[in-house]
Structure 1
Amino acid sequence: MTLQRQVGFWIGGLAVLALALYVLRGILLPFVAGLALAYFLDPFVSRLERLRVPRVVGALAVIGTFVVVFIVLMLLIVPVLATQLTAFVARLPSYVVQLQALATEQNREWLQRVLGDRLPDVSRSVAELVTQSTGWIASFVQQSLWAGGATFIYLFGLAVITPVVAFYLLKDWTRMMDKVDSWLPLPHKETILGLMREMNIAMAGFVRGQATVCLVLMIYYGMALSGAGLNFGLLIGLGTGFLSFIPYVGSITGLMFAAGVAIVQFWPDWTMVFVILAIFGIGVFFESYVLYPNLVGESVGLHPVWLMFALFAFGALFGFAGLMLAVPLAASIGVLTRFAIRQYLASPLYTGVTRPEPLGGPARPER
């Protein structure tokens, strides 16, 4: 088979796979979540297997432990979060209005010099924009997230199917990987296996490492902000840690919400506002210099801008399942792109140097 036909074959296979994922995107989420959970928990099952625990038993023990811990956490945290989220959305317009009032009262002379007679119109426009935005957010949360029995049934199905899928994948993980390896084209098997190992390092470093970072930050910010007495501290803290899946985005977003709530809640006591800022300063330092270097490292090769683009692109194409697929696919595309660049830099297309002909001119075909 010529190189052109090989390239066409693989491009066609990828196109068919992408089309299948797009057509089936409505039912993908439980299976993608199960695959992600199995990939995340596979090191624990493999470690038990090295201790001579049968893989079926190890997979069942790991999945069972995860499900029990998850259910306990959900029963303890979800009611509190639901209450805080509903109250936060309801009070968000008043928070914004109070922040606007504090900003204009403290800087009225400066704003008057800059805006002149337009200050009342600008303030009114900002207030109307904020009211409309917060009203849209409130209706979205109440109607899209919490209302409707279909959502509950879908989440229930997700909670039931995902652990089952993860268990079967964990049980047969080694056998499936061996089977996939046996399907690889023999002339290029070592090259493909090398690329797959590089992809695994990138995905493991980011998915497992960054998920651990998010979990630690969720615990830290949730406990610290709640302990400081900040209104909706648990909600803001857990949201900050969860959004830290994209480096620094969670910290910046959480800081904005926490600082705004703290100013309205504690004004004019600046001491508590500085306490909230200090909590985020410690969190950013801990994330940047302790957690990220040790748990994620520099070998991942996922730039934050590329990661955000991948999340938006795959999310728009495949919904929530696309969000879960975005990171491994982005890491895989990054590995393949670096491989293609290495091949290009070593090719005559870049160097301009072709292979020298042997002495005596080109070889003549034998008769």
Structure 2
Amino acid sequence: MIGLSKPLWGLIAAVAFVLLLHLLAPILMPFLLAGVLAYIGDPLADRLEARGMGRTMAVVTVFFVLSLFAGIVMLVTLPLLIAQIQLLIERIYDGVAWLQQTGLPALRHHLDLPEQKKPMDAARDALSKHWGSAGGIFFYLWGKVSGSSMALLAWTANMVLVPVVTFYLLRDWDVLMAAIRNLLPRSMEARTVVIAQQCDEILGAFARGQLLVMLALAVTYTLGLWVVGLELALVLGVVAGLASIVPYLGVIIGISAAGLAAFFQFDSLWPMVGVAVVFGIGQALESMVLTPMLVGDKIGLHPVVVIFAILAGGQLFGFVGILLALPVAAVIKVMINHLHDYYKQSELYESKRGPVELEVDE
């Protein structure tokens, strides 16, 4: 058997891990979400354990507090969000009606285009001509609805699985970390522990800090749009706050959607100016106060890197890849920093040969 070098074995293991992750992506979401929740809750459980509380009781306390907080938030916001979503559907219907009755005729008149049949009339004629195939369309739609129902059942089962897996991971988190550390080769343990601690510092800063930033921005946008008088203040503020996980994406989505909603709700341009002011204040608050105070400079990922990592993760692994994108990018950043330090200390960089002078033809 041909011997393989250690770097080659490491490359084979990395490729096998990525392939396995890709194959298991459809079932990884609840376990991944549970791992994130356990990672966030572990410091709280450690603090309670340090004060003399048993590990299981500390985990039960943290789990109960987090579940109670999530339940209160859902009870308070869910009815409001449902009402806002119903209002959003009505506004979308009004916008489509305005586009068909006013916008398109005005555009057609401005561009001197010929009159065309209205979309509803065209749809009615198409349905009358192809009525014979309506049965096939019905069975096709039924299949889609049935598939959606199965997907909904699978999603519900995953959501039920998340708290169960979270509890067991949180209870045995320290045991799992100790077991992983004991599996490391003794020659690599010290450096690996240092890298893991730096990764934990970056991921902890991101997981806790960025969630607080998103929550603060959601509250800021919601209150600001409510002061402006926008009917869809809650749903648009929450969406803009959640989208702020990607730099500038929350502002772009929020100001576009809120500006469009203000255009259809009000007859004046001043509310649209108010929407721009709200998101301008939110962006300034994020860059000058929230991110430096809650996240700091520990992550150090360039906005372009963040955008690329999220798009690449979604392209490769779907929703699971989106969740893993920023943590993996942060870990890769730590690895690159260590490789950079290793290169600076290597013989390749510390060459004893003098600088090479290049001859330039004049």
TM-score, normalised relative to structure 2: 0.79
Residue 291 of structure 1, CA deviation: 0.8
- Measure, in 2, the Cα distance between the counterparts of 1:7 and 1:294: 41
Indicate yes or no: 2:345 matched with 1:346.
yes
2:181 aligned with 1:186: no
* Matches of 2:161 and 2:323, distance apart in 1: 16
Report the counterpart of residue 257 of structure 1 in structure 2: 257
Deviations 1:151-189 (A, max 9, x none): 432332222211111111111111211111111111122
SS in structure 1 of the partner of residue 5 of structure 2: helix
Alignment of 1:236-315 (within 5 A): 236-268=236-268, 270-315=269-314
Distance in 2 of aligned mates of 1:347 and 1:99: 66
CA RMSD of aligned residues (A): 3.3
User: What is residue 127 of structure 2 aligned with on the other side?
Assistant: none
After TM superposition, give the deviation of residue 95 of structure 1 in Å: 3.6
Query: Can you give the 5+ residue segments of structure 1 that lack an aligned partner in the other structure?
Result: 109-116, 129-142, 355-367
- 2:246 counterpart SS class: coil
In 2, are the aligned partners of 1:207 and 1:327 still within 8 Å (CA)? no
1:205 alignment partner in structure 2: 205
Question: Structure 1 residues 253 and 348, CA, compared in 2 at 3 Å: closer, same or farther?
Answer: same
Distance across 2 between alignment mates of 1:94 and 1:66: 40
**1:200: Cα distance to partner?**
1.0
The match for 1:150 is: 150
Distance 2:266 2:50 in 1: 55
Contact 1:99 1:260 in 2 (8 A): no
The one-letter amino acid of 1:21's match is L
Q: Comparing 204-213 with 77-86, which one deviates more in the overlay?
A: 77-86
- In the alignment, is the contact (CA less than 8 A) between 2:247 and 2:307 conserved in 1? no
Counterpart secondary structure, 2:26:
coil
1:1-367 equivalences under 5 Å are 5-89=5-89, 91-92=91-92, 94-95=94-95, 119-120=111-112, 148-268=148-268, 270-353=269-352
CA spacing shift, 1:4–1:301, aligned 2, 3 Å: farther
Q: Could you say what secondary structure the match of 2:52 adopts?
A: coil
Cα 1:257/1:295, change in 2 over 3 Å: same
- Paired position in structure 2 for 1:359: none
CA contact (8 A) 1:315 1:323 kept: yes
Q: Is the 8 A contact 1:49 1:55 kept in 2?
A: yes
Q: Structure 1 pair 94/352, CA: closer, same or farther in 2 (3 Å)?
A: farther
Deviations along 1:10-61, one digit per CA (max 9) or x if unpaired, are: 2222222112211111110110000011111122111211221112111111
Q: Secondary structure at the match of 1:43?
A: helix
CA contact (8 A) 1:99 1:264 kept: no
Give 2:128's aligned residue. none
Cα drift, residue 150 of structure 1: 2.5
- Paired residue type of 1:334: K
Paired with 1:319 and 1:43, the residues of 2 have a C-alpha distance of 29
Would you identify which runs of 4 or more consecutive aligned residues in structure 1 move more than 4 Å?
96-102
Cα shift readout 1:271-303 (whole Å, capped 9, x = no counterpart): 333332222222112111111001111121222
Measured against aligned partners, the alpha-carbon deviations of 1:212-270 in whole angstroms (never above 9, x if no partner) come to 111121222223323432121111000010011112211222011112211332222x3
Letter aligned with residue 317 of structure 2 = F
Q: Secondary structure of 2:236's partner? A: helix
* Whole-angstrom distance in 2 between the partners of 1:11 and 1:79: 51
Aligned length: 325
Name the CA distance, whole Å, in 2 between partners of 1:144 and 1:299.
46
Separation (CA, whole Å) in 2 of partners of 1:293 and 1:185: 38
Distance 2:334 2:61 in 1: 34
Q: Distance in 1 between matches of 2:112 and 2:331?
A: 53
Q: Distance in 1 between the 2:238 and 2:56 partners?
A: 34
**SS of structure 2 residue aligned to 1:168:** helix
Classify the secondary structure of the residue corresponding to 1:301: coil
Q: CA deviation at 1:4?
A: 6.9
Measured in 1, the distance between the counterparts of 2:4 and 2:289 equals 48
